[in-house]
């Protein structure tokens, strides 16, 4: 009886059977920068995930360039918002960490959005590409 057959048979008998899954392979770090994104504007495409890979966004640093708080910074996955509104005080920056990461799959694109009514925002997005 092969290993897979023994595992299935053990599971059917109510035995605890460990499930071994391969961890995703790290492909490389990613840092994406979008400086001075104008108000009420979505940036151009910052990254397109290569075939056979995923992008896991781990954190983003958002800086408000100038006076007036920015209420509405967001990350975008292939045209769809993936974060709520992120608020940034005037002439300050905010770092947002995503504990589990925001995952973009092969072919998906990453953009950022400045939804504030005035002023520019700069974004620095950090993450890693992985091979699932």
pLDDT in tens, 26-67: 789 999 999 999 999 999 999 999 999 999 999 999 999 887
Domain positions in the chain: 22-131
Structure tokens, 2: 């092969």
Q: What is the pTM of this model?
A: 0.79
pLDDT in tens, 66-122: 877 778 899 999 999 999 999 998 889 999 999 999 999 999 999 999 998 888 999
Give the 3-state DSSP-derived string for the chain, with helices as H, strands as E and coil as C: CCHHHHHHHHHHCCCCCCCCCCCCEEEEEEEEEEEEECCCEECCCCEECCCCCEEEEEEEEEEEECCCCEEEEEEEECCEECCCCEEECCCCEEEEEEEEEEEECCCCEEEEEECCCCCEEEEEEEEEEEEC
CATH code reported for the domain at 22-131: 2.60.120
Smallest CA-to-CA distance from 128 within 41, 33, 27 is with 27
- The answer for residues whose C-beta is within 8 angstroms of residue 75's C-beta and 6 or more apart is 57, 60, 81, 82, 83, 102, 110, 111, 112, 113, 125
């Amino acid at each position: 009886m092969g290993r897979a057959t023994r595992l299935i048979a053990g599971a059917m008998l109510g035995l605890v059977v460990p499930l071994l899954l391969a961890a995703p392979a790290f492909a490389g770090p990613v840092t994406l920068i979008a400086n001075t994104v104008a108000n009420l504007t979505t940036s151009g495409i910052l990254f397109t995930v290569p075939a056979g890979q995923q992008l896991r966004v781990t954190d983003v640093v958002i800086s408000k360039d100038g006076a007036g708080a920015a209420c509405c910074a967001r990350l975008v996955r292939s045209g769809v918002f993936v974060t709520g509104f992120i608020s940034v005080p005037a002439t300050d920056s905010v770092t947002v960490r995503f504990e589990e990461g925001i995952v973009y799959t092969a072919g998906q694109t990453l953009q950022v959005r400045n939804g504030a009514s005035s002023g520019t925002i700069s974004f620095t997005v950090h993450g890693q590409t992985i091979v699932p």
